Amino acid sequence: MSQLLLAPRSSAPARRNFAEQQPDRSAVTRGGKLTLEERISKVWEGILAAGTADCPVCRGPMERMGDSGRCIRCHSTLT
C-alpha cells in the first residue's frame, strides 16, 4: 500500500487587493454603486498601497509604472 502525503496548508490568509479590504460606506447610501471619482480613487489607493489594483475598465491587473498606473491586459493608463 502507498501513503498519500499532503503538503501542510499555509496559515497565511488569501491575498486580496487593497480595495477589497476597505469598507465602502459611501456606496451603501447609493444602493451599492460607486461614483466614477470614488472608483478611480480606490484604484489609486490600491496602486499606491500595494503596487497593484483592479483596472476600472477591464478588471485586469493594473500596476504602478512611475507616476502612473497601467493595465497589463487592456493597456489603460491612469495619470
> Whole-angstrom Cα distance, residue 68 to residue 65?
5
State the alpha helices, DSSP H only, in the chain: 18-21, 25-28, 36-50
Domain boundaries, the chain: 34-78
Query: What was the pLDDT predicted at 68?
Result: 93
Q: What is the pTM for the complete model shown?
A: 0.57
> Whole-angstrom Cα distance, residue 56 to residue 43?
7
Residue type present at position 36:
L
Q: Are 18 and 62 in contact (CB under 8 A)?
A: no
Query: What was the pLDDT predicted at 32?
Result: 75
Q: Provide the pairing of β-strand 68-71 with 52-54.
A: unpaired
* pLDDT higher than threshold 70 for residue 25: no
